[in-house]
Chains A and B, each alone.
Chain A
Amino acid sequence: MGFFPESASSFGGEIDRLFWAIFWITGFFFLLVQAGLLFFVLKYRSRAGRKASYVHGHTGLEVIWTVVPALILLVLTIASQKVWSEIRSPRRMPKDALHVEVLAEQFAWNIRYPGPDQRMETPDDITTINELHLPVNRPALVSLKSKDVIHSFFVADFRVKQDAVPGLTTQVWFTPTKLGQYEIRCAELCGLGHYRMRGQVTVQPRRDFEAWLVETKANE
């Protein structure tokens, strides 16, 4: 089961737990149906003298297999909604988040930090291409825009994906919890260079991050 990259964000673990809950529940029904299919086909395979039963249905059974899955799906929906609202509800976005703007274009990620004045589009902004640096354990709020077509900001290790749509500003937030380097992949077909629209996230200790900002500004 080691297919998932290790979770490196605050809610990555919750998404994984939800995945595995659905995995075990659907896995149970998967096995139930496959085993039932195989068992019935072997047990009731035609042979001399067998006659099929003349049965048209069974109301009790039919009620059970309508109601039980409905209840399970209700629980899954509620559990999903809990996580969804935590991640996506505008009211629950952290106030102290580090604000970053990512402007996607064919086929690169333009990254902008507001600089000391905490405002975008001012001379003290810090800009990079394809290199997103974030401090560890501080919420990051990414505002996504696009110059041309739709792109999608996907960091598998954070379990984060959000489309960047021209004409709109979309937002997504997360808290990186592990130091390291992770890939940004474009997850929405954006043209012939879609496959190589790769960026990199570097999650650093706070002090290193501050130093990197200063250094990047100096090199601009």
Chain B
Amino acid sequence: MSRNKIFSTDHKTIGIQFLVSSLIFMGLGGLLAMLMRWQLGWPGSALPWMERMAPQGMPGGIMLPEYYNMLFTMHGSIMIFFGVIPLLVGAFGNYLIPLKIGAPDMAFPRLNMLSFWLLPVSAATVLTGFLAEGGAAAAGWTAYPPLSGTQATMGAGQTFWAAGVIVLGFSSILGAINYIATIVNHRAPGMTFHRMPISIWALFTTAILTLLATPVLAAAMILLLLDRAVGTSFFLPAGMIVDGSALAHAGGQPLLWQHLFWFYSHPAVYIMILPAMGFVSDILPTFARKPLFGYKAIAYAAVAIGAVGFLVWAHHMFQSGMNPALGTSFMIATMVVAVPTGVKVFSWLGTLWRGDIRLATPMLHALGFISMFVIGGLTGIFLGSTPVNMYLHDTYFVVGHLHYVLFGGSLFGAFAGITFWYPKMFGRQMNDRLGRIHFWLTFVFFNSVMFPMFALGMSGMPRRIYDYTQYPALAHLTDINRLMSIAAFCLAASQILFAFNFLWSLAKGKPAGQNPWQATTLEWTTSSPPPHGNFAQTPVVHRGPYEYSVPGAARDWTPQTEEPPRGQG
């Protein structure tokens, strides 16, 4: 591979680099989850071969509580920061934006390259924590101080974690600037905002959210680092006594961190779901051979979710000691978000109505997305209700809810997107039969792991608990946890099929041709994979993105570039 292939400024190469690295990180994050499931299914049982992997965390193969805390912290951090966000935003944003708006490349190709190369730097920094004294960060992916804020309560791994997340923030911001500039300035002639595919609306909204929210996260991380390293007290109040010795900090406020952190991290949830919604909105019309139902409503709903998404952050803090009147206003904003979300779901159903539906792998994942995301969305209403939240907050109900949004939603959306655009990226089709088997196994095992979490939460089982059998009233949950763990191992094993299909099809897949799905948008009007510069000639856009089954047309798809019949101008 030449130097230009690795340090490439071509948006397609950068997109694929993001894709491959985020899939590898997801594999790693998934393996950490398997270790957790081992401990939850068989608390305190030995995994002898793990002693060699983690002699300090699992002496004799038996997991220590601090190791368990490190596992869920790193699982969440890796999945969110190095998995879902780089996959949905980094990979698809880079790959799709120029191709779908008819541009030869991103507005700032070198900035784009930098945005990718900060990702391995950031990941290496965070993962270095595993080698640090006391292991990697173990204060949860939310890293609430004071636990995360002093050397006395959390070791050097936490410092690496915060430093790495700051680097990642730069990567996100550079990417976001690029997306916004490209979408605003580099659309092909005729590509008005209202002719853009919904995936572009979604990535555009996402870029704005990233640009506005990430600096706040970076600021919070810098303050945390200062508290840890220099002895400032942004988040640390007076009078703390840890392990019998008084700390010298004074004047800080732990809740400040929660406000700053969630001011980023709640919009981040929308950063992780809006692109998936966009892909599904592109894929449904293609496989239902029908225009998207309510195009404008879906596009504006994405913008509305993004806008209101900035006003809901403190619904993570209803029981934090924050003024309860503030809880009321955040509950109202939270309920408001459900409205545009519902509009999207109903519009997708409307797209299927009276369609001509083909169930290829990308469509199965898109349908799976709708089905699973609905559970994630509806369970959010329980948590948004302040009194019900008092019971369910920080229980497994929340863990179930977030996995239905981020796995059931984001990941099924990502699988839909990967299987849909794979032929464009690599010029070959993935095996559809293998793809459908992978979908069904993932769907069944995902639900078998995650759905029981709602029952665990209703039983009052707190999250982030190394050994719930310490609570006699929870000890009866061993059987259900064991079944969930078995399902989790099967879920992980099923992903081998996907990895195999992905790699095997690179060499052996059926050649895809320019437009294997008979789709209408611009990326399908150029070769697969597209050449450097994407289009032989700049495309000219004459119509909306989802013109399927147009009456009187010869075929059931009418590309965006097709000129209108003469006389109807």
Contacts and interface: CB of A to CB of B under 8 A. Distances in A.
Contact of B321 (A23, A168, A195): A168
A167 B237 contact: yes
A149 B146 contact: yes
Contacts of A160: 390
A159 B390 contact: yes
Contacts, number: 281
A166 B240 contact: yes
A212 interface: no
Interface in A8-27: 11, 14-15, 18-19, 22-23, 26
A117 to B, nearest CB: 25
A120 interface: no
A165 B295 CA distance: 47
Nearest to B321: A170
B524 to A, nearest CB: 18
Most A C-beta atoms less than 10 A away, residue of B379, B460, B467? B460
A84 B353 contact: no
Interface string A40-73: 1100111000111111111001100110011001
Contacts of B239: 147, 166-167
Interface residues of B, number: 97
B238 A167 contact: yes
Contacts of B130: none
Interface string A138-178: 00000000011110101011011111011110100000000
B328 A84 contact: yes
A211 interface: no
Given A165-B255, A190-B147, A191-B147, A40 B352 contact: yes
B388 A22 contact: yes
Interface in B353-412: 353-359, 367, 370-371, 374-375, 378-379, 381-382, 385-388, 390-391, 393-395
B153 interface: yes
Given A19-B391, A41-B359, A62-B294, A69 B472 contact: no
A24 to B, nearest CB: 12
A84 to B, nearest CB: 4
Given A76-B385, A187-B393, A40 B458 contact: no
Name, among A30, A50, A52, A156, the residue most crowded by chain B CB atoms within 10 Å (CB to CB).
A52
A80 B388 contact: yes
B492 interface: no
B350 A57 contact: yes
A19 B294 CA distance: 33
B375 A81 contact: no
B230 interface: no
B385 A80 contact: yes
A148 B153 contact: yes
A116 interface: no
A122 interface: no
Given A15-B388, A58-B350, A189-B69, A88 B327 contact: yes
Contacts of A166: 146, 237, 239-240, 254
Given A166-B254, A167-B253, A62 B347 contact: yes
A70 B339 contact: yes
A61 B347 CA distance: 9
Interface stretch (B171-179, B203-211, B272-280, B283-291): B283-291
Contact of B378 (A29, A41, A53): A29
Interface string B228-257: 000000000111111100000000111100
A84 B356 CA distance: 48
Contacts of A90: 324
A206 interface: no
A36 interface: yes
21 contacts: A3-B459, A4-B458, A5-B459, A33-B345, A46-B357, A54-B548, A55-B350, A58-B350, A62-B294, A62-B297, A73-B335, A105-B241, A147-B241, A149-B153, A156-B460, A166-B237, A166-B254, A167-B252, A167-B254, A192-B69, A194-B65
> Which 3 residue pairs of A and B lie closest in terms of their CB atoms, listed nearest first?
A167-B237, A156-B460, A88-B324
Given A26-B381, A46-B356, A76-B335, 14 more contacts: A15-B390, A19-B382, A40-B353, A53-B290, A55-B290, A55-B293, A56-B291, A57-B294, A74-B335, A84-B324, A160-B390, A183-B472, A189-B144, A195-B465
